[in-house]
Amino acid sequence: MRKRILILIAMMLAFTMIFVSCSKKDEGVGEPLETPTTTAEPEELTRETIIYYEDDAGYLVPVMRKIPWVEGIAKYTLRVMMDTPEQQEDLMMMGLRPLLPADTEILGMSIKDGIAKLDLNDAVLKCKDAAEESNMIQGIVLTLAGFSTIDKVQFMFNGKILDTMPHGTVVKEPIGPADVNLEIADDASVQGAKVTVFFQSTSSSLYDYLIPVTRITSSENATLETAINELLKGPKDTDNMTIDIPPDTKLLGVQMDDGITYINFSKEFKSLANSEESEELVLRAIKLVAMQFPEVEKVEILVDGKPYSGKTRLDSVPVFANEW
């Protein structure tokens, strides 16, 4: 009986809908409905590109950003380095600022035999001091050298090659990537190998980021052991940088076996697992230090010879310093 009642109700609803539809068609306000078709938007192709910016302390900071794969992607990347309101908004949370003035114009750019000829307007010649000028040039070179077709950059200004910029930065010849955030050695006589280490920023921004530092060591050769020991020493500029490696941690050794590089720390390192906020950044700093050496393919961390067990898996840690 209940089933019959439901059938009757369904038939009444159907007749009602037909009557309403016919009425609207007669009034000229309705058209036969078509089933809407949706076409899925193709996913935008992007390239993971390391772009350099500057923090409040004047350090160059690399940030991985996803840049659309457009024609002239290198030129497009330079526009992302300009001090426009859009870029200011993007970088505000990180406490970083773009290296190029807002009124920068790219007058021309060509790439041949690994040399990118970059022609910029006068806006880039108005830096406030030598440090800002040098950072701008170095940041552009480091960013563009991230493209496989570019090894060096020949700067031009309004179509002319200058010997030096107003504050003394030499730009006469093509410029290749240099030592990023080079530390001044305490002892000027130290002329050892250079290694790159990564420290955490202590800025007031809401975003924690890593700063690469090129350090001159007393060692003749740049080895992974040397680099890790320099990382354990911590930053010299303690006002702007730190590293949350547990105090008194020592490097017990480095060993390569079957394509894996094992970095063995003393027992103190184990307490890093208790600091969830710091663990990911410390592991990322260690991984970045290790991956600068071509022979290192995969990294594992040991504590007193046993696998380190924390909340962060090392293989999930990215191989770029910062992401936005």
pLDDT at site 94: 85
Domain segments of the chain as ranges:
46-157, 194-316
The C-alpha angle with vertex 200 and arms to 197 and 202, in degrees rounded to 5, equals 140
CA 276 centroid distance within chain: 22
> Tokens 């050496």 map to which residue?
293
Predicted local distance difference test score (pLDDT) of residue 82: 97
Q: How many CB atoms lie within 10 A of CB 259?
A: 9
Tell me how far CA of residue 323 lies from CA of 76, 277, 286, in angstroms: 18, 16, 17
Contact 231, 251 (CB under 8 A): no
Q: What is the pLDDT averaged over residues 196-223?
A: 92
* pLDDT tens-place string over residues 15-43: 333 333 433 333 333 333 233 344 445 56
Report whether pLDDT(48) > 70.
Answer: yes
pLDDT of residue 277: 81
Predicted pLDDT at 90: 81
- Report the range of poorest mean pLDDT among 198-202, 260-264, 320-324: 320-324
Which tokens belong to 149?
Answer: 């077709």
- Any alpha helices (H) in the chain, and if so which ranges? 2-27, 73-79, 85-92, 130-144, 224-233, 276-291
Q: Nearest-CA neighbor of 212 among 70, 55, 34?
A: 55
What tens digit of pLDDT does each residue of 239-252 get? 999 999 999 999 99
Beta partners for residue 132, in sequence order: none
Q: Report the amino acid identity of residue 310.
A: G
| Percentage with pLDDT > 70 across the chain | 85
Checking if the pLDDT of 193 tops 70, the result is yes
Given a cut of 70, whether residue 56 has pLDDT beyond it is yes
Task: Judge whether residue 173 has pLDDT over 90.
Answer: yes
Q: Which residue has the tokens 């409905």?
A: 33
